[in-house]
Structure 1
Amino acid sequence: METESLRTDRLGVLLDQFDQAREMAQVRLTGLGDEEYLWEPVPGCWSIRRRCEAVTPRAFGPGEWVLDRGAPDIPASEYAEVARQAAGGMTVDKIAEDWSVSVERVEQVLAHTGTPEPDVTPVTTIAWRLAHLHFEFAGRWEWTFGERRREPKLLVDFTPSADLALERFWASVDRWRDSIATVTDEQLDTVGFSQYPHGSDPDDPFIGVLAGGNLELIHHMAEIALLRDLWRARFTTSG
């Protein structure tokens, strides 16, 4: 992107960032095949699976294929976010509801001092990362620009086909991008402009929601890029 074409208004900066991340991601995903898409590099991976083969307690999806999801908890990487929620006036009960955990768990997080221990999280497949991003983009669109009534976890029909998954994913991403391009300055500052129910969107100004969405796209696509590198190098040995 040429320097003279860069926007400096708030929405423009976020759109430019989103567009660059999308362009880089699409290049990195070129040539993705079904085997690589579903590749589990280590035991115990989370992925998409047939409903009858689900291995996690909260796997979800509307069709034959579901997305792995474990028991609810607050990861250590989100302790600071919980502290910000409490500092911003959210009650412990509301935070517990937001994270689908007990009040006792929230109190434990808020009482924690020092540096949290690193999270122990499952390795996820490319299919899982794409599906996770897809249902979040689809859900946020529904609860911001759509009817605001359909459950986000039932909006995406997960598929073992990499080509079909990418076709559907980019369509959802582009719909989101086209809609946010129409947002006004007043709407950027509106708390609850997005009512997406799985997170803090109803309590946040929309500009924060957009920034968070960009971060999700960037960091999950970076993980996918690394998985592609590992797939390509999986049979090489050091001499």
Structure 2
Amino acid sequence: MTTAELNWGRLLVAQLEFYWDMHLRPRLNGLTDEEYCWEPVAGCWSVRAATDGRFRIDGPAAQADPPPVTTIAWRMMHIAVGCFAIRSSAFFGDGSVPDDADMFDPRHEPADLPSTAAGGVAFLEDAYRQWHGHISTLGETAMRTPLGPKGAYFSAEPMAALIVHINRETMHHGGEIGVLRDLYRATGATTRDSRLTVSA
């Protein structure tokens, strides 16, 4: 097969599929509530109950400097919401969010996030399935089409560029989740407040 015959869109979707099926999803097996919310150092960002009782992700809209350490819960919800759910809503939505909302509009974000490991895994899996289902149907023309107003300041970028970005973000934060799980086990942590120490 020559380079000209390659289906680049299919390769991008297959890359995400392989990472999800072979790396990220298996690494979530056996995740406990304590591990999901583990704060290995003080000042972590996580998923917490707001004053209205609904759970939301910590952090201001602007990136903190320096960035804080974040929990597995935070990283999972960053992938589920920040990568998959808001993009699915913005570009393939059901009409429940006004059409003038770009992909950074907070109206695309779910009102409540899961506070348990089982809920977090199910939520992430559902968000992945929705995003994957949408991008799997795109042909070459759609992959090359600019994002337009819904892409905000990335409006001139093609859909394929957004998919590349989402893949990169998913693999980046998925790798961090794997490292946190390794540290939780290797340091003998048992609660969400166990601080990083090397077990004897």
Please indicate the TM-score interval, normalised by the length of the shorter structure. Answer: 0.7 to 0.9
Match of 2:24 in 1: 25
Match 1:121 to one of 53, 67, 78: 67
Match 1:70 to one of 41, 47, 60: 60
Match 2:88 to one of 132, 135, 141: 141
Determine the C-alpha separation between the residues in 1 that align with 2:61 and 2:130: 31
TM-score, with structure 1 as normaliser: 0.68
Aligned pairs for 1:131-210 within 5 A: 131-136=77-82, 137-146=84-93, 147=95, 149=98, 151-152=106-107, 154-155=109-110, 157-192=112-147, 195-196=150-151, 200-210=153-163
Match of 2:171 in 1: 218
* C-alpha RMSD over aligned residues: 2.4
- Counterparts in 2 of 1:160 and 1:238: CA distance versus 1, 3 Å: closer
Residues 187, 193 of structure 1: 8 Å contact kept: no
Determine the C-alpha separation between the residues in 1 that align with 2:107 and 2:184: 31
TM-score, with structure 2 as normaliser: 0.80
Query: C-alpha displacement at 1:215, in angstroms?
Result: 0.4
Match 1:130 to one of 63, 76, 79: 76
Question: Sequence identity, in percent?
Answer: 33
Query: C-alpha displacement at 1:183, in angstroms?
Result: 0.7
- Counterparts in 2 of 1:71 and 1:176: CA distance versus 1, 3 Å: closer
Residues 144, 193 of structure 1: 8 Å contact kept: no
Task: Encode CA deviations 1:170-189: one digit per residue, 9 max, x unaligned.
Answer: 01111111111111211111
Q: Which amino acid aligns with 1:212?
A: H
When Rg is computed on C-alpha atoms for both structures, the one with the higher figure is 1
| Higher RCO structure, 1 or 2 (CA under 8 Å, sep 6+) | 2
